[in-house]
Structure 1
Amino acid sequence: FTAASTIKIPIMVSVFKELSEPTPQAAAELMELMIEQSKNDPADLLMETYLSPTLGPLIVTDVMQEIGLENTFLAGHFYIGAPLLERFITPANSRTDYSTDPDTYNQTTTADMGMLLEDIYQCAQNGGGTFGALLPDEISQNECQTMITYLTRNKIAVLLQAGLPDGTRFGHKHGWITEADGLMHAIFDVGVVYSPGGDYIICVAMYHPVQLIFDSANLLTANISTAVYNYFNITN
């Protein structure tokens, strides 16, 4: 799938990997704008400042591959006219049985995003998981808790969040874009739900080759979110 703004989670992880604690105030402010308000310019500036002046997207991709996410990549910056730095072939976009016409600049899968969120969650909870095993000296439990905080401040009241009871702690990143034909074809929403019956990761991606109608996709995503929440929180 086209990752759209969900690719900002890998950017966040990659930047934290390079930062020393405490997090510089300038980086924290850019992170807030990128995650909480889904701004693109701060995402570019974070990569240019803390990863590489020109090759930041490829560093993000390298980090994702380092932790085992082989279908997730960022091949260019967000700004209009940004060059495609590399063309990536992945197991997911090599499939011939199904196509979602993914963007050549940024791609991921629900499985990859789910695993990445689980990595952040486990690291935030106890310093464990993939980050604890592979990046113990580069991403701390405190930094993972900060990542979760940023994600919980992304409040949009639609998609997955719309299907959760009021007051549910929910950290997520959503993404959708208008394509060159002026229509929307894909929506992505991925997150961590903290519920009385158990915490869980949920990732929903939708694609339509002609046009994805937001109201219909929003309702379906919210209903899926409600169903999963109820599964973990069965009441008599």
Structure 2
Amino acid sequence: MIWEDLDAHLDRVPGTVSAYVGRLGAPPTWARLGDATHYAASTMKAAVLVALYRAAEAGRLDLDDPTPVRNSFDSAAPGAPRFTNDRNYDNDDAVWARVGGTAPLRWLAERMIIRSSNLATNIIIGHVGLPAVAEAWALAGARHSVTGRGIEDYAARDTNIDNLVTAADLAALLSELALGARRPGPLASPAGCAAMLDVLFAQEHREDLAAGLPDGTRIAHKNGWIRGIRHGAGVVYPADAPPYTIVVCTTTELADGGPSGEETEDDACRLIANISARVWASRHDLTD
């Protein structure tokens, strides 16, 4: 059986590999260490996206209003000074080119996802607040994931305030988004969920989950990486089968990409792509 073979293969991988695969709205067909916590890296940006769209639907902000682009943020650590992002630890020069000017929150949200901009993420967190991100996780049914601080908030990190995810929680968040685009759900209106999925469909970092799929396959996804960490979380839309959620979280020495956060294809990417390809080959056999 494919799932037993996958488990046996992953048992030999150094570190911790968690996974979750299943149809939307159904129990997982395969789950491996689904509740194990991993450092979130950039996968937490999916929850920030939900918090932003929820705030817009509640009338607390307008996604198209000009927003100051400033590199200065409140720390989540009580009494700590404000912190800044390092331009060398980002993946999107387009947002940095706007520093000192303005940009719409909608555009910043797109850059946060499709190019994984850290600067855009912290600007959005500054507008919605960390409690709103926690609410997004809770409404999705997440049980263990925490977004406790902004990116590069080292004062908070040093006091054990951190960003954590599990494979099961990421699957819950993305599944609710996908289901919410079809009918009213807890995260946002169907139109809001569809708009967020469109952003996730436009993801430009495609070296892990997407690399294991045939060219042209639609996948709404977010990944995250730093040295020692590589995650991929998405909803795949085959043309010949119902959509399915797939999440793979790895804390492993195979994730040996560059320390500065640049996009790097490494053995962890190839591992996730291989899992994605195996799940794709069994897409007709996933249980409802």
TM-score when scaled to structure 2? 0.63
1:121 Cα offset (Å): 0.4
- Residue number in structure 2 paired with 1:198: 242
Structure with the higher fraction of residues in helix conformation: 1
- Residue number in structure 2 paired with 1:13: 50
The verdict on how the C-alpha distance between 1:211 and 1:192 changes in structure 2, with shifts beyond 3 A counting, is closer
CA deviation digits over 1:207-231, x for unaligned, max 9?
A: 22x5534532222211111111111
Distance 2:140 2:243 in 1: 22
1:205 Cα offset (Å): 1.0
Distance 1:152 1:23 in 2: 23
Distance 2:163 2:230 in 1: 14
The equivalent position to 1:149 in structure 2, one of 182, 187, 198, is: 198
1:166 Cα offset (Å): 0.6
The equivalent position to 1:63 in structure 2, one of 113, 122, 136, is: 136
| Matching of residue 188 in structure 1 with residue 231 in structure 2 | yes
- Residue number in structure 1 paired with 2:282: 231
Distance 2:224 2:47 in 1: 13
1:74 Cα offset (Å): 1.1
- For structure 1, the residue ranges without an aligned partner over 5 or more in a row are 88-103, 178-183
- Residue number in structure 2 paired with 1:40: 118
* 8 Å CA contact 1:172, 1:189 repeated in 2: yes
The equivalent position to 1:4 in structure 2, one of 41, 46, 70, is: 41
1:82 Cα offset (Å): 5.2
The percent identity for this pair of structures is 29
- Higher relative contact order at CA 8 Å, sep ≥6: structure 1 or structure 2? 2
- Residue number in structure 2 paired with 1:91: none
1:81 Cα offset (Å): 4.0
The equivalent position to 2:148 in structure 1, one of 75, 81, 92, is: 75
CA deviation digits over 1:24-79, x for unaligned, max 9?
A: 22121111110111001111111212x2xxxx223312432344312111111114
* 8 Å CA contact 1:41, 1:79 repeated in 2: no
- Residue number in structure 2 paired with 1:94: none
Count of residues paired in the alignment: 198
1:85 Cα offset (Å): 10
- For structure 2, the residue ranges without an aligned partner over 5 or more in a row are 1-37, 65-103, 257-264
The verdict on how the C-alpha distance between 1:165 and 1:118 changes in structure 2, with shifts beyond 3 A counting, is same
User: Equivalent residues in 2 for 1:30-179 (5 A)?
Assistant: 30-49=108-127, 51=128, 56-81=129-154, 83=156, 104-128=161-185, 131=186, 139-177=188-226
Greater gyration radius: 2
CA deviation digits over 1:164-209, x for unaligned, max 9?
A: 00110111000011xxxxxx2111000010002121000001122x
Structural RMSD (CA): 2.3
Distance 1:11 1:17 in 2: 10
- Which letter maps to 2:235? V
Q: What secondary structure is seen at the aligned counterpart in 1 of 2:203?
A: coil
Distance 1:6 1:40 in 2: 11
* 8 Å CA contact 2:114, 2:205 repeated in 1: no
Q: What secondary structure is seen at the aligned counterpart in 2 of 1:59?
A: helix
Distance 1:221 1:67 in 2: 24
Distance 1:170 1:16 in 2: 20
- Which letter maps to 2:114? E
